[in-house]
Amino acid sequence: MALGDIISSATDAIGLTNVKGKKKAYDNAQSTLQDTLAQSGQTYAQILESIKGTGQNLQNQLGGSSSVSDWINSIKEAGNKDYSVDSSKVSDFDWDKTVSDYLDPNASYMINQATQAAQNTLAGQGGLFSGGAGQQLQAVASDKARELYSDAQEQMNKEKSFDYNKLLDELNIDVGNVNREQNQDTAYTSNLGNIANAYQTSVRDTQEGVTNALLSQLQNDSSIQQALANLGISEASAPTALGSIFGDVLGFASAFIPQKGVKEDA
């Protein structure tokens, strides 16, 4: 029930307009109060609608209450998501080739050629049939064999290292992609959280705005307080809450309601 209706009911119930000598004054005071309440009520209705409308527009822009649900769902999804990377292709890396696979297919021929060249040199020097010629030729063959083996091993290590590093690069790319995905999910969830918080703040601010406007109507509207004072309601000029106004109305009414068994003055 509106404040004006409460005041009207109270004044009608106690028969205020029937008190001789005061009828006209109270009629005028009551009329003034009703006009004041109507004007003030219209003003505050516009204020309340403005507060509600502004709040609702902002809430709609923020996606309404679904923004909170989206935020919670995003947290759940990120919590259940697997961001791990399969590193077995590196940890289980196995090389199935040997140095023999990289030896020059003409190795025997090249060793023979080196030995033949050494033999020709010894022959030219007249030492082919000396006691150390055989050892020298064997040393030449061994040196050439070690050279060819070393070249093969180096080539094998290069290829092995290349393949391993290639797998390592692929793993690093996978790790980078997963990290980016996780960062994107985190940023997305964080943005949803900001929106959800903004929505909840808007709801709270709208509710507080409506509440404060209603309290202001009762506590700070001097025109209503003055109109109530004109009706003779005690302390009506500075009430602190709606209960104070209603208490004054009821107290005022009890002073004028005829008691049972007591005849009202003519």
- CB count within 10 Å of CB 118 equals 20
pLDDT digits 0-9 by tens, 75-120: 999 888 888 888 887 878 887 888 888 888 888 888 888 888 877 7
Structure pTM?
0.49
The domain ranges of the chain are: 84-195
pLDDT (tens digit per residue) in 26-36: 666 666 666 66
Torsions phi, psi for 138 (to 5 deg): -65, -40
Q: What is the dihedral of CA 187, 188, 189, 191, to 10 degrees?
A: 80
With 0-12 CB in 10 A as exposed, 13-18 as middle and 19+ as buried, what is 155? Answer: middle
The whole-number average pLDDT for the span 43-48 is: 75
What are phi and psi for residue 15, nearest 5 degrees?
A: 70, 35
DSSP 38-99: HHHHHHHHHHHHHHHHHHHHHHHHTTTTHHHHHHHHHHHHHHH-------HHHHT------G
pLDDT tens column, 128-171: 556 566 677 788 888 888 888 898 999 999 998 888 888 889 99
